[in-house]
Amino acid sequence: MTFASPVKQMIFALKEMASYSDIVESELWPDLDDNFIETLLYEASKLADNSIAPLNQSADKAGSILNNGNVSTAPGFKEAYKELVNSSWGTLSGLKDYGGQGLPKTISVMIQELWNTSCMSFSLCPMLTQGAIEAISHHGTENQKKEYLPKLLTGEWSGTMNLTEPQAGSDVGALKTRAKKNSDGSYSIKGTKIYITYGDHDMAENIIHLVLARIEGAPEGNNGISLFIVPKFIKNQKSNELEKNDLQCIGLENKLGIHASPTCVMSFGENIGAKGFLLGEENRGLACMFTMMNNARLNVGMQGVGIAERSLQQSFEYSKERKQGRHYSGKSKNSVNIIEHPDVLKTLIKMESLTQASRAICYDNAIAIDLAQNHKDDKIKEKYQLKADLLTPISKSWATDIGVKVASLGIQIHGGMGFIEDTGVAQHYRDSRIAPIYEGTNGIQAIDLVTRKLKISDGLAIKNFLDEIKETSKKCSEKNDNDFIKIANNLNAAIAEVEICTEKLLEWTKENKLRSVLFSASDYLELFGITAGSHYLSRGALSEKNINNESLSARKELALFFSTQILINSRSLSSSICSTSENLGNFLEDF
């Protein structure tokens, strides 16, 4: 089925649901206006719709091929990637001193959504490169920035993140990759990394690996980890030519989804040792890597949005074409399009509301990051940093869970045909399933939320965000409209549940009931996600730009649906969260 980038939905989410007005009022980017953003998105959508999206299903079937240590990507990927490089899409938010355009990261996040939606496997290459750019921009020396950033920004070189080892997944401190300092100041890297996305491929002329390793003599655990730049090819100082470094892909993972994205087993230093260059300070590698991971976590959240959008579009079109069963009213003896069945329609509305809510959360997160990093007023920067810190685990976890949920509902809409690979809808589900796992599992994000984010500045981040939601609720209640009043009442009830649960978790933390805190973490994140989702959908329904426009009723109905069908789960989630787990210790004895 034909795919079309949801540019209008994206622009609406940015301007009417997220806090784009905060960027405008900051005057940090005076040349950024509505026409520019719209033109940029429509231009990017041409590449997404015409060159990348048509590859999604064929590339899934073809996959990547490893031959003598070299990886060939699926047919069409090299050509599409060349178009992306030639159009300079990677330079948008890069530092101007190194060839970037200096635009807000929010714009890059939106462009990345287009690549995600058109083909998730393809999108991973520029996404990981953006993360490498972030890490080098924040922690690199001036020489490193000059050497690597210009070509990483254009995409001529791509970037990777090398954390995981067979025995060291989420427990990064257990890694065994070693680094030995050379006489010239470089390091010799030896070790094996697994699950390395685009660890090798044929689309870029060089691959810049960021590798976590332990320098000889460094302490064990997280405190002894350093981060190194380990290029696939290194420039010979005499000849100025690129020479192969001592690293190679020794295996490709056979995965459930994202088949066209090469997930590599990388071997460093099998012969003389792979040459690497320290990024940041010795034994401070995790701090550097988290710069990269925080960037990746928001973009992974956008993958959830993208895969949900792709599944939603295909399901909606199918439901308008597929005839099955009689009309529920009995008014016709002929088969009707399945969208006329109330249960199917309800499923589609659920998919739509979840997709739009998750998009707005991610956009608002990106805006908070932009203002935290660039605002000239330190107090305002701190305010947005609190918001960015709070929303990052929500964006990553809630949006990727939504991606899986919507993709699953898409299969249900298609019925038996959804279970057949030829329709392509099963691929969305397979592809979606990795997003809640990589870049920090969603369980880890929930733990981060309840053990760190709740306590920042004595809970100020939570309080500030709930104040935003209360303001939305107040505006709804001031409308002379029963539907808006119902939305306000449900929002207020959910806010109360969040406050109760927050107090309970903080109480358990003080009492050192860590098990109960961690046991409730995922439910708390879900509670926060649906409350935030209702907040953003309500803001969209309140938009003044919808007045006298036919979309006003549709926006309100979507917000009302979410409020009455999804947000009301806040009560049951709250009940679950506040139930202690201290008495469940005997459970495992039965196994």
Q: Write out the H or E segment, with its range, that includes residue 266.
A: strand 263-268
What CA–CA distance (Å, rounded) separates 162 from 259? 19
Residue 440 is given by DSSP the state: S
Listed in sequence order, the residues at least 6 apart from 441 whose beta carbon sits closer than 8 Å to its beta carbon are 170
- Expressed in percent and rounded to 5, the helix, strand and coil fractions of the chain are 60, 10, 25
What CA–CA distance (Å, rounded) separates 201 from 209? 13
What CA–CA distance (Å, rounded) separates 374 from 539? 25
439 catalytic residue (yes or no): yes
- Determine how many CB atoms are found less than 10 A away from the CB of residue 580: 13
Catalytic pick among 134, 340, 439, 497: 439
What CA–CA distance (Å, rounded) separates 50 from 229? 35
Give the tokens for residue 283. 């034994």
| 525 CB-contact burial (10 Å; exposed 0-12 / middle 13-18 / buried 19+) | buried
Supply the DSSP string of 550-577, one letter for each residue: THHHHHHHHHHHHHHHTGGGHHHHHHHH
Whole-angstrom CA distances from 585 to 170, 446, 450, 534 are 24, 22, 21, 36
Which residues are part of the catalytic machinery? 439
